[in-house]
Amino acid sequence: MDQVVLARSLFGTTMAFHIIFATIGVGLPLMILIVEVLFQFTGDSDYALMAKRWTRGFAVLLGVAIPSGTIAGVQLSLLWPQFMKVVGKVIALPFQIEIFAFLLEALFMSIYVYAADRLSRGMRILSVVLVAFGAVMSAILITNVHAFEGTPTGFRIVGGEIVDIRPWKAFFNPSFAVSAGHVAVSAYMTGAFVIASLAAFKMLRRGLSDKHYAFHRKALMVGLVVGGLFSVLTALNGHASAQHLYDEQPEKLAAAEGLFVTQDHAPLTIGGFTDKETHEVKYGIEIPWALSFLANNRFDTVVKGLNEWPEDEWPPLFIHTLFNAMVGVGMLLLLMSIVGFWWHRLLKKQTFPRWMVWSFFVSGPLSMLGIEFGWIFSCTGRQPWILYRVMRTSEAVTHTGNLGTLFLLFTGVYLLLAISVVVVLRAYFKRHPLGDELGGSGDVNGEEEGLHV
Ligand code: HEM
């Protein structure tokens, strides 16, 4: 198999695995913070119990996010040595600062987990705030290298030498803000729907006592409300990301929309599949003029089509489907959130029909799929460049052999890690069933509620 394809498959598999844990690792601390604040302000001990149980889950997931992130770091150097030369000289700052963000997260996580019962109300909230802050900063800093790949600035390559290096200019590359925003809000949205999904899963059990049902319903509602708010922010920020593509990576936008011919009043095509032979999107629904408007707020905006570039510079055309799938997931999740809110809060229904609970259960996996679609769309849509218009992916790849064997070995490691996570989480929560803890969670001040993992 082609060396680039093998290297991309290996790195892509690593990232696809790591991103699940990294995303939940950003989303879950915010959810813990929200229930911690709810507990402190309402005195409802159910929220304290949620914070306690979610923190346990978070600790286990963090245990996988760290090694899989380390593997990703090692693979970057192993698979893309030419690219890492640029990273080392130009965009090392985010990696260096990230160490401090991680330190902050780990330190306050330990304090919250082991000493929560000895902390004042304010300190307890502050420690979760710092965990959440460290987690999101880690994600923003690391993904800034991805933003830099799309809009590489702060250096020049002259005669193969990297010169005129300005690390802060590279750090604040044109994609930094918009990409950081999209990564953060989509992770918060995902964390919320993962919680909603777990709560729904528990609510699907038959014969649940009223107390248990009420506990899970509260968790579900927190997940749906927070998830709904962040789906709106994700859509708004996603719109800004698309406008940014119009300015910075127009061929990615053209491929995302399956647009071949440059035109004003360009239509937006929803769904369907891009056909390379006929240069059209088959089975899609066209909304006249909408793409021009979405790209730059005017119907007469001229949007460049793929025919402007030689075919070997086109991103893979399947990214149209990925883009639609990502946006579709966002819309579906928002709808679920609205339905849940309307049913429980506006119609004041205390129980949900089973079909509705099933759909809430699906929201967690669906949001994770959205994250995977988003990343694959964003990274594949940059091809054939590893550094947009500066270095091709084929120029950056290693010449080492055995990538096929490595691919199989790492896939095995990820499978093992995935199974271990499920086994550990199941065993842990089986040993600490909700029933036992609900009984003992009547303490409003949380004095007996140490968060020992
Ligand atoms: C609802 C409307 C949405 C729009 C218009 C939108 C738009 C975009 C665009 C244009 C990009 C590419 C940015 C680039 O390559 O520079 C992107 C990337 C991404 N999207 Fe979305 N998105 C939406 C929803 C979602 C949802 C629901 C999720 C997750 C569940 C998500 C997760 C991601 C991720 C993880 C990336 C890669 C990170 C990045 O490049 O910023 N997006 N999105």
CA 232–ligand 1 middle distance (angstroms): 13
CA 241–ligand 1 middle distance (angstroms): 7
Cα separations in angstroms, 175 against 156, 386, 408: 18, 15, 34
User: Quick one: pLDDT at residue 441?
Assistant: 45
| Cα(48)–Cα(125) distance, integer angstroms | 12
User: Quick one: pLDDT at residue 439?
Assistant: 63
Of 449, 429, 417, the C-alpha closest to 16 is 417
CA 91–ligand 1 middle distance (angstroms): 23
Residue 179 Cβ contacting ligand 1 at under 6 Å: yes
Q: What is the pLDDT along the chain (453 residues), one digit of tens a residue?
A: 689 999 999 999 999 999 999 999 999 999 999 999 999 889 999 999 999 899 988 988 888 888 888 999 999 999 999 999 999 999 999 999 999 999 999 999 989 888 877 888 888 899 999 999 999 999 999 999 999 999 999 999 998 899 999 999 999 999 999 999 999 999 999 999 999 999 999 999 888 888 999 999 999 999 999 999 999 999 999 999 999 999 999 999 999 999 999 999 999 999 999 999 999 999 999 999 999 999 999 999 999 999 999 999 999 999 999 999 999 999 999 999 999 999 999 999 999 999 999 999 999 999 999 999 999 999 999 999 999 999 999 999 999 888 999 999 999 999 999 999 999 998 988 888 887 777 644 333 333 333 333
User: Quick one: pLDDT at residue 428?
Assistant: 85
| Cα(373)–Cα(76) distance, integer angstroms | 21
Of 78, 153, 169, 171, the C-alpha closest to 390 is 153
Atom of ligand 1 nearest to the CA of 150: 16
- Nearest CA owner, ligand 1 atom 15: 378
388 in Cβ contact with 146 (< 8 Å): no
Atom of ligand 1 nearest to the CA of 375: 37
Of 61, 340, 58, 109, the C-alpha closest to 219 is 340
Q: Given phi > 0 = left and psi -120 to 50 = alpha, else beta, which region is 446?
A: left
Atom of ligand 1 nearest to the CA of 190: 30
β-strands 391-392, 385-387: how paired?
antiparallel
Helix/strand/coil for 407: helix
| Cα(181)–Cα(178) distance, integer angstroms | 5
User: Quick one: pLDDT at residue 307?
Assistant: 96
User: Quick one: pLDDT at residue 207?
Assistant: 85
Can you count the helices (H) and strands (E) in the chain? 15, 8
DSSP 76-105: HHHH-HHHHHHHHHHS-HHHHHHHHHHHHH
Beta bridge partners of 13: none
443 in Cβ contact with 45 (< 8 Å): yes
With a CB cutoff of 8 Å and minimum separation 6, the contacts of 447 are 117
Of 185, 178, 175, the C-alpha closest to 26 is 185
Of 412, 407, 410, the C-alpha closest to 5 is 407
Question: In 378-453, which ranges are E strands?
Answer: 385-387, 391-392
CA 11–ligand 1 middle distance (angstroms): 20
Question: In 123-266, which ranges are E strands?
Answer: 156-158, 161-163
**How many CB atoms sit inside 10 A of residue 85's CB?**
14
Test site for ligand 1: of 234, 236, 326, 363, most ligand atoms within 8 A of the Cβ? 326
User: Quick one: pLDDT at residue 6?
Assistant: 94
For the purposes of burial, counting CB atoms within 10 Å of the CB of 446, is it exposed (0-12), middle (13-18) or buried (19 or more)? buried
β-strands 161-163, 156-158: how paired?
antiparallel
What are the backbone angles phi and psi of residue 91, rounded to the nearest 5°?
A: -125, 45
Q: 354-380 vs 121-150: helix axis angle to the nearest 10?
A: 40
With a CB cutoff of 8 Å and minimum separation 6, the contacts of 4 are 393, 394, 397
Token reading at 132: 């959440």
- Nearest CA owner, ligand 1 atom 37: 375
Of 67, 374, 24, the C-alpha closest to 198 is 24
**How many CB atoms sit inside 10 A of residue 122's CB?**
9
Test site for ligand 1: of 378, 382, 385, 386, most ligand atoms within 8 A of the Cβ? 378
- Nearest CA owner, ligand 1 atom 19: 374
Atom of ligand 1 nearest to the CA of 256: 10
β-strands 156-158, 273-275: how paired?
unpaired
- Nearest CA owner, ligand 1 atom 22: 238
Token reading at 220: 């579900």
Atom of ligand 1 nearest to the CA of 241: 10
- Nearest CA owner, ligand 1 atom 24: 327
The amino acid occupying position 114 is Y
